[in-house]
DNA sequence: ACCTGAACACCGTTCAAGT
DNA sequence: ACCTGAACACCGTTCAAGT
């Protein structure tokens, strides 16, 4: 009987998967992916490194749980009544911003795409494709295209953030890449030369959205005749 | 004088960055990313681990060189006279197949996108967008969309390959994911449920191409009026 | 100039021992 | 049932010492 109440009144500092994941996210956000070690985690939780293994299978399991935590927060609260294309843009931007705030999420998403976070993204986007009038046989290819694009950007941003952590600022990084591209043989890399000029000034978030709009334009263009409704979503948004 | 000829007649087993990269690729292909250690590399090259550091800055440098090696082979030999859309598909498929054959390339490409391999892909695809009539202000966003999509798929494939290495076969993996998706609450994940059925039967390569076609359809759809030529590349290819 | 290999400062993970 | 922390089997990287 007393056991019962004791368990209910469990001290808040008792170890649990939730508290471990929470601490892991804090370390990842504060100090980056390389700072998350079982020793650092144990120190922050004031326990032994072995204790963590009682609640978590291994480091991959821990990272998967942390990633799912962040993604779940983003994907769920999107207005259900919104126009499908707008809703897809909102979801995609949500994932983009989440990775901007937690770059390690980008790394995880591209390394372990089958984890719990993935169905969340699939559902959030896929449901809207359906509403858009995309025929069922094209569903899978269409979500897949959008999600793979999002994951590609996620990986890039995470990689850039890794450099930022090493001291390089965003401008310095873009400048260095632009300079490297400008140094390539113009005869063999004419296109890269032209694009290099646009690189330092471009806005990551705007370019991300432009890509989403491009894919949505493709989805709309391949819609069965007579189903097309609303704008084609290809307008370059400037806000 | 004798030094001169001696250097020219250097034994083929002398250490060099090329030989190190070659050995690294062999280890990566034969035994996967986790098998590439400086100790294993030193053993294969019959030298000390420290010797490798004379020719290579660190492990990242080594992986970047190995990746560039593989990508360079793929991207260069694409027919220059081909129709732009067909050429883009060829380049994309080349990268896809390279990652299929060397999954570790996918990991690297998504982790270090600014490396030497990236301008190669940008040029190969961007040049064709130009030929397609895409206006200059849309170049950057368009290549970026295509390349990010390719990188997204690259990451996925690499992740899947990591599982394959751990013993799980492709069918078993797809089956497990499909089963996991089918177990989700149908009320909250209706779309995922429907798509789960298509998952085990789908062809990765075809789906990849479908995504490329979707983006190309979007590029075509947003082309200035009067510029559109040829097919819109949106045909769902079944072979 | 280039190579050797022991040593350093770490990791993730395990496990006997405790409560 | 849960926690402790030393120990194990690794890593990437460095560096004095060799040739």
Residue to substitute from A117, A126, A152, A217, interface B, most B β-carbons within 10 A: A152
In degrees and rounded to multiples of 5, residue A230 shows phi and psi of 65, -170
Identify the weakest region by mean pLDDT among A97-111, A161-175, B15-29, B115-129.
A161-175
CB contact under 8 A, A123 and B188: yes
Name residues 13-42 of chain B with a Cβ under 7 Å from nucleic strand C: 14-15
Tokens linked to B80: 């220059």
User: Comparing C-alpha atoms, which of A35, A42, A45, A44 is closest to residue A13?
Assistant: A45
Q: What is the largest CA-CA distance in chain B?
A: 82
Contact A148 B181 (CB under 8 A): no
Nearest residue (CA) to C1' of C15: A50
Does A42 reach chain B within 8 Å, measured CB to CB?
no
Is the CB of B47 less than 7 A from some atom of nucleic acid strand C?
yes
Are residues B139 and A202 in contact, defined by beta-carbon separation less than 8 angstroms?
Answer: no
Please state the rounded mean pLDDT for residues A14-30.
Answer: 96
Kindly tell me if the per-residue pLDDT of A162 is higher than 90: no
Q: pLDDT exceeding 70 applies to what percent of chain A?
A: 87
* DSSP-derived secondary structure for A53-116: HHH-SSHHHHHHHHHHHHHHHHHH---TTS-HHHHHHHHHHHHHHHHHH-HHHHHHHHH-TTST
What's residue A94's pLDDT? Answer: 93
Chain-centre distance for alpha carbon A35: 20
Q: Which nucleotide is nearest to B53 (CA to C1')?
A: D13
Enumerate domains of chain A plus CATH numbers. 82-223 (1.10.357.10)
* Contact by Cβ (8 Å): A207, B144: yes
Q: ∠ at Cα A131 (A130, A134), nearest 5°?
A: 45
Name, in order, each residue with C-beta under 8 angstroms of B60's C-beta and a sequence gap of 6 or more: B112
Answer yes or no: is pLDDT of B72 > 90: no
CA–CA distances in Å: residue A62 to residues A17, A21, A51, A161? 9, 7, 13, 21
Q: Which residues contact residue A20 at a Cβ distance below 8 angstroms, ignoring those fewer than 6 apart?
A: A41, A45, A52, A55, A56, A62
Quick one: which H or E segment has residue A205? helix A204-221
Both tokens of B158, joined, read 């690499």
B212-223 exposure pattern, b = at least 16 Cβ within 10 A, e = fewer: bbbbbbbbbbbb
pTM score over 0.85: yes
- For the stretch A212-223, pLDDT in tens is 999 999 999 999
Residue A60 in tokens: 């991959």
Q: Are B222 and A234 in contact (CB under 8 A)?
A: yes
**pLDDT at residue A163 in the model:** 78
Closest residue of chain A to B175, computed from CA coordinates:
A114
Q: Which residues of A touch B150 (CB under 8 A)?
A: 152
Share of chain B above pLDDT 90, in %: 68
Tally of residues, chain B: 239
B211 against A118, higher pLDDT: B211
The model's pLDDT over B156-209, given as tens digits with 9 standing for 90+, comes to 999 888 877 777 778 888 888 899 999 999 999 999 999 999 999 999 999 999
CA distance A146 to A135: 16
Copy the structure tokens of residue B228. 């559109």
* Tokens read off for B13: 């087993």
The packing angle between helices A136-165 and B136-165, to 10°, is: 90
Q: B165 in helix, strand or coil?
A: helix
CA separation for the pair A62, B119 (Å, rounded): 36
pLDDT recorded at residue B8 = 34
Closest CA to B228 of B140, B138, B132, B89: B132
Q: Provide the angle, in degrees to the nearest 10, between the axes of the packed helices A117-131 and B190-198.
A: 100
Cα–chain center distance at A19: 23
Closest CA to A89 of A124, A114, A119, A113: A124
* Among candidate residues A214, A219, A208, the one with its CA nearest the CA of residue A234: A214
- Per-residue pLDDT tens digits for B134-154: 999 999 999 999 999 999 999
Distance CA B99, CA B131 (A): 27
Comparing CA positions, the residue from B55, B163, B33, B150 lying closest to residue B102 is B33
């Amino acid at each position: 009987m007393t056991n019962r109440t004791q368990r209910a009144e469990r001290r808040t500092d008792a170890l649990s998967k939730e508290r471990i994941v929470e601490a892991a996210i804090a370390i990842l956000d504060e100090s980056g992916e390389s700072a998350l070690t079982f020793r650092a985690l144990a120190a922050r939780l004031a326990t032994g490194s072995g204790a963590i293994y009682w609640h978590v299978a291994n480091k991959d399991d821990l990272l998967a749980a942390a990633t799912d935590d962040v993604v779940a927060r983003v994907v769920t609260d999107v207005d259900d009544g919104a126009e499908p294309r707008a809703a897809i843009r909102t979801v995609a931007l949500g994932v983009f911003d989440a990775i901007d705030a937690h770059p390690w999420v980008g790394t995880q998403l591209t390394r372990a795409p089958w984890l719990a976070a993935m169905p969340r993204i699939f559902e959030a986007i896929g449901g809207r494709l359906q509403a858009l009038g995309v025929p069922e046989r094209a569903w899978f290819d269409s979500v897949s295209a959008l999600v793979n694009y999002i994951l590609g950007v996620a990986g890039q941003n995470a990689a850039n953030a890794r450099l930022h952590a090493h001291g390089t600022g965003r401008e310095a990084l873009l400048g260095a890449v632009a300079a490297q591209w400008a140094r390539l043989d113009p005869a063999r890399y004419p296109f890269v030369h032209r694009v290099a000029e646009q690189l330092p000034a471009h806005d990551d978030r705007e370019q991300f959205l432009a890509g989403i709009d491009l894919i949505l334009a493709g989805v709309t263009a391949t819609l069965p005749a007579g189903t097309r409704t609303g704008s084609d979503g290809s307008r370059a948004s400037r806000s």
